Amino acid sequence: MKPADSFILVTGAAGGIGAAVCRELALRGASLVLGGRSGDELLALETELRALGARTSRLVADLVEEDPARTAQRAIAAFGSLDMVINCVGVQTFGLAADEAAGDTRRMFLANTVAPIQLCNALLPHMTGRGNGHIVLIGSIFGSIAFPCFASYSASKFALRGYAEALRRELAGSGVRVSYVAPRYTRTAFNRDAVARMAEALKMNTDSPEAVARSIVAAIEADTADTYLGWPEKLFVRINALLPRVVDRALIPQVRRMVGFTRRAESGPA
Ligand SMILES: NC(=O)c1ccc[n+]([C@@H]2O[C@H](COP(=O)([O-])OP(=O)(O)OC[C@H]3O[C@@H](n4cnc5c(N)ncnc54)[C@H](OP(=O)(O)O)[C@@H]3O)[C@@H](O)[C@H]2O)c1
């Protein structure tokens, strides 16, 4: 789908990747509904996007708390119709599974999995009724390669990928397309200090949010079902699917080093 002249809801719009996606879309002539929790952050982004010539509307909502039907209604009402939703909301925890607070596990699944699924489900009648629409889900390379110290985060993104795949099959021929885009490590505030230090020590490949945004928009324009960003990460996704023990051999030796950057390391030996 071409973003020009489309009405697009971007959730997590004030985040690092979300805001970069909004800028790319604004330059292409899209009208944007900016979803986020902070009215001030959305207002600052809106001012910037309007200066680029975009039509915008702000949708201030906590997507975990608000009834998805109401969010969907508000998003459609902003311009009277909605062509696309790009789900950029996400939260992450880093550490050993045994150390994760129960509330964090719950929060992560609600924000990364339940909220986007419920929002897309609520938008589907509008899109299928018009025989036109595009659902875009931002996953993660960790949604295909389950990473130690990111167990719940990985699981939440595996689930989102499963939803995207099932939905794409379910909607085949309906005029509503589904794209799943999986970034690798992206330099945004999403990765707190400890994760950033760990990534540097392990020499992880990283991308700028601007580069990721360009890839997301290219995937949308090309109507690609699944996009994995970064080389060699996209190859490892394939290897992990076919030969997971090979990836075990690469990742398991890293666990001890990764733990060195977690809270457990700061509080001394368990
Ligand atoms: N950065 C990476 O390394 C990376 C790699 C792979 C995949 N991803 C995925 O890419 C997406 C965007 O990540 P990012 O780097 O742009 O992260 P980010 O800068 O932290 O942005 C995430 C956005 O989600 C919003 N959000 C969180 N919980 C919410 C809720 N309950 N209701 C409404 N909004 C909520 C945040 O709003 P607040 O500011 O109000 O918290 C923030 O604007 C996420 O799905 C993430 O999992 C990121």
3-state secondary structure of 125: helix
Q: What is the pLDDT of residue 132?
A: 97
Read off the pLDDT of residues 211-226 as tens digits, 9 standing for 90 and up.
999 999 999 999 999 9
Q: Is 111 in the pocket of ligand 1 (CB under 6 A)?
A: yes
pLDDT of residue 266: 64
Q: Are 158 and 114 in contact (CB under 8 A)?
A: no
Measured by CA distance, the residue closest to atom 26 of ligand 1 is: 89
Instruction: For 118-142, write each residue's pLDDT tens digit.
Output: 999 999 999 999 999 999 999 999 9
Q: How far is the CA of 108 from the centre of ligand 1 (A)?
A: 11
Residue 202 lies in a domain: yes
Q: pLDDT above 90 covers what percent of the chain?
A: 95
Q: Is pLDDT at 268 greater than 60 in this prediction?
A: no
Which residues on neighbouring strands pair with residue 252, listed in sequence order?
none
Residue 16 lies in a domain: yes
User: Would 44 be classed as within a structural domain?
Assistant: yes
Supply the range of the domain harboring residue 204.
7-266
**Tens-digit pLDDT profile for residues 175-205:** 999 999 999 999 999 998 999 999 999 999 9
Task: Return d(Cα 232, Cα 253) in angstroms, integer.
Answer: 19
> What is the identity of the amino acid at 205?
N
Distance CA 11, CA 67 (A): 15
Q: How far apart are CA 157 and CA 128, in angstroms?
A: 25
pLDDT of 267 strictly over 90: no
* C-alpha–C-alpha distance, residues 94 and 7, integer Å: 35
Between the CA of 140 and the centroid of ligand 1 the distance, in Å, is 11
Using pLDDT thresholds of 50, 70 and 90, give the confidence band for residue 265: low
Q: Is residue 2 part of a domain?
A: no
pLDDT value of residue 269: 43
Q: What is the pLDDT of residue 143?
A: 98
Res 270: pLDDT: 38
38 lines ligand 1 (CB under 6 A): yes
pLDDT in tens, 1-47: 788 889 999 999 999 999 999 999 999 999 999 999 999 999 999 99
DSSP state of 90: -
Query: Would residue 230 count as lying in a domain?
Result: yes
Residue whose token pair is 């080093």: 257
Structural domain count of the chain:
1
Give residue 1's pLDDT.
75
Ligand 1 pocket member 230 (CB < 6 A) = no
160 C-beta neighbours (distance < 10 Å), count: 25
Q: According to the model, what pLDDT value does residue 264 have?
A: 74
Please check whether residue 1 lies inside any domain of the structure. Answer: no
Tell me if 208 is assigned to some domain.
Answer: yes
Residue pLDDT, tens place only, 69-97: 999 999 999 999 999 999 999 999 999 99
Q: Which CATH number characterizes residue 164's domain?
A: 3.40.50.720
Which residue is closest in CA terms to ligand 1's atom 17? Answer: 190
